[in-house]
Amino acid sequence: MQKQTVLIADDHSILREGLCALLSNAPDLEVIGEAENGQDAIEKARQLQPELVVLDLSMPIINGTEAIRVIKQRNPEIKIIALTVHKSEEYVRATLDAGADGYVLKDDSSNDLLTSIRNVQKGNVHLSPGICDKVINGFLDRPGKARSTRSWDQLTLREREVLKLIAEGNKNRNIAERLSVSVKTVEKHRANLMKKLNLHGVSALTMYAIDLSLIHISEPTRQESRSRMPSSA
């Protein structure tokens, strides 16, 4: 079995050690690096080119949200899960807008984190059950919805099709097969979507699609587990 490579970024060494132990026990994951601040995370992501980054938002030098933005700009294929104590809608929205593929709370169970990794691996957006409903409702009610509708009018028919398929969790190859086009054509449409909508990453495109009622997502099923993730001060 080919293992997915993971970079862990958090300024608390105890939490990093706990996450390394948890993820290293998964048969399909391999932790290849650690970072103790946002700048270190950006540099390690450039050097190691992990397939997945799990990072905290409150880190010194460069915060997690900005680190996500830079990492995604340099390599959009890297999946990123924010692991944080912050539950407010403002934090969640800013993190998703930066390009994060998942948002998990530190008081979620270990199984919740592993579930988020599995979902993100499949190309889906994962939101912690603890914030899912609140964030979606806030996103749908926000004042900018009319602006989203105007942006929608600027998209071509094919771009709209690609947007919906991306938001549904389809990967570029699957979209190409569905639309009978090349993968490079899908990649071009995807780049045009992000440029026209000023959005970064699958998660931001998905939330945009939810905003316009193109798709609907249900709250993730919470895995019952007594095992909790290691906490930090």
Distance CA 61, CA 182 (A): 42
- The more confidently predicted of residues 160 and 7 is 7
Bigger pLDDT: 232 or 26?
26
Contact 76, 39 (CB under 8 A): no
Do 116 and 206 reside in the same domain of the chain?
Answer: no
d(CA 8, CA 44): 10
**133-137, 172-176, 207-211: least confident range:** 133-137
Asked whether residue 93 is domain-assigned, the answer is yes
Domain that holds residue 98: 4-134
pLDDT-wise least confident of 74-83, 124-133, 212-221: 212-221
Q: Please give the mean pLDDT across all residues of the chain.
A: 83
CB 227, CB 12: distance < 8 Å: no
**70's tokens:** 């830079």
Per the structure, the count of domains in the chain is: 2
CATH of the domain at 196: 1.10.10.10
Tokens of 211: 């905003």
Is residue 44 domain-shared with residue 59, that is, in the same domain?
A: yes
Question: Do 97 and 190 belong to one domain?
Answer: no
Structure confidence at residue 207 (pLDDT): 76
Give this prediction's pTM.
0.67
The answer to whether residues 157 and 190 belong to one domain is yes
